[in-house]
């Protein structure tokens, strides 16, 4: 996690450590492979550690997991519906609803590479709906950190999520990475 260029802005040390363990500075390699421990630590720092570990342990076909995913989708739909946008941007909200359905379908099919890419796009669009043009600026993550450190860490995760879709081959780990964001948004 790089330092901000704004004077006086410092990311809390425990957040920085969790982020650098999950997303190594020099990317993934034989030396820096993604691991479950770093995902669990990241979830703890996000404030969803207990829920994350509970959901991560569920069987993917269990009724309990299906209920959890339904809550996630319902909460995401509420976030989308409750955002205020100009009339000319209503299509963005409709498009995001369609993207959410595609994402949920990929989760059901266990296409986690595709789901990572979809979720990354969903988070990018959701950040626009929630924060407007600020979400497209270079200092967006810093901006969200200043609002709330856990929120900043979440949006930083969203900005780096595609790295896993491009570099991780372990589908169990891809599922674990997706659950980080799903757990956070379910409790947002």
pLDDT, tens digit only, all 188 positions of the chain: 444 456 566 677 888 888 888 877 765 544 456 678 999 999 999 999 999 999 999 999 999 999 999 999 999 999 998 887 778 778 888 889 899 999 999 999 999 999 999 999 999 999 999 998 999 999 998 899 989 989 999 998 998 888 776 666 788 889 999 999 999 999 98
Tokens describing residue 34: 């993604």
Rounded to whole angstroms, the Cα distance separating 57 from 155 reads 25
- The count of structural domains within the chain is 1
128 lies in some domain: yes
125 lies in some domain: yes
Rounded to whole angstroms, the Cα distance separating 8 from 19 reads 20
**Helix and strand totals (H; E) in the chain:** 10, 0
Question: What pTM does this model have?
Answer: 0.87
45 lies in some domain: yes
8 lies in some domain: no
108 lies in some domain: yes
Contact at 8 Å (CB) between 153 and 15?
A: yes
5 lies in some domain: no
Rounded to whole angstroms, the Cα distance separating 66 from 68 reads 5
66 lies in some domain: yes
Contact at 8 Å (CB) between 130 and 140?
A: no
């Amino acid at each position: 996690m790089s330092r901000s260029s704004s004077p006086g802005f410092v990311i809390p040390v425990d957040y920085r450590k969790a982020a650098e363990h999950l997303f190594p500075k020099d990317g993934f390699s034989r030396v820096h492979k993604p691991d479950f421990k770093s995902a669990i630590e990241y979830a703890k720092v996000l404030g969803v550690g207990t829920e994350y570990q509970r959901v991560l342990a569920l069987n993917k076909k269990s009724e309990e997991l299906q209920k959890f995913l339904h809550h996630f989708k319902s909460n995401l739909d509420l976030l989308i519906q409750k955002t205020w946008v100009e009339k000319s941007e209503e299509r963005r909200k409709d498009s995001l609803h369609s993207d959410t359905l595609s994402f949920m379908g990929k989760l059901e099919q266990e296409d986690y590479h595709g789901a990572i890419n979809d979720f990354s796009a969903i988070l990018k669009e959701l950040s626009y709906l929630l924060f407007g043009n600020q979400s497209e600026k270079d200092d967006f993550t810093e901006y969200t950190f200043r609002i709330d450190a856990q929120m900043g860490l979440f949006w930083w995760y969203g900005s780096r999520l595609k790295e896993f879709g491009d570099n991780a081959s372990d589908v169990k780990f891809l599922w674990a990475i997706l659950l980080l964001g799903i757990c956070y948004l379910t409790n947002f």
